[in-house]
Amino acid sequence: MFRSPLGSVICLAIIAVGCNKSEPGGPGASNSSHSKDTFTVKAPSTSTDISQGGSHDIKISVDRKKAFKQPVTLTFEGGNKVSFDPKKLVDDPSQSGSSMVKVTAEKDAPLGKQTITVNATPESGSATSATFDINIKETK
């Protein structure tokens, strides 16, 4: 079977651009995607533009495996002169599995890319995290 080097590069590029997904967390957390009592967290895979003094709602998803029924507490950290509302939220297993956080940049937030970390902690078992980028733009 013939494999094109270009095809391999394209596949790697697709994988790199895909969703920004955490390692598994939860009671039986491991790097195996086969465990049924774990969860992962998904954050945006592309940078989100926010103007100085502005805000943007960001969707964070908690993907639960079949046997994982715990609430997951999400907290946010990172960024310079940015705030999060709410600062902490609980993703309940009876809900949709996605939550929104409002990220606000102060009027004097430094311009450019900043990386935000989403920490996801279950009631029991291993915590995990994912990151996403924001891009602070000058207010016009």
Yes or no: say if 132 and 105 are a contact pair by the CB < 8 Å rule: no
What's the rounded Cα separation, in Å, for the pair 40 and 50? Answer: 26
Give residue-wise pLDDT tens across range 59-103: 999 988 888 899 999 999 999 999 999 999 999 888 777 899 999
What's the rounded Cα separation, in Å, for the pair 12 and 103? Answer: 31
Amino acid identity at 89: L
Side-chain-facing half-sphere of 13: CA atoms under 13 Å? 6
Q: Report the 10 Å Cβ neighbour count for 99.
A: 20
Give residue-wise pLDDT tens across range 1-49: 444 444 433 333 333 334 566 655 555 555 555 577 888 999 999 999 9
Which domains, and CATH codes, for the chain?
Answer: 20-137 (2.60.40.10)
pLDDT of residue 97: 73
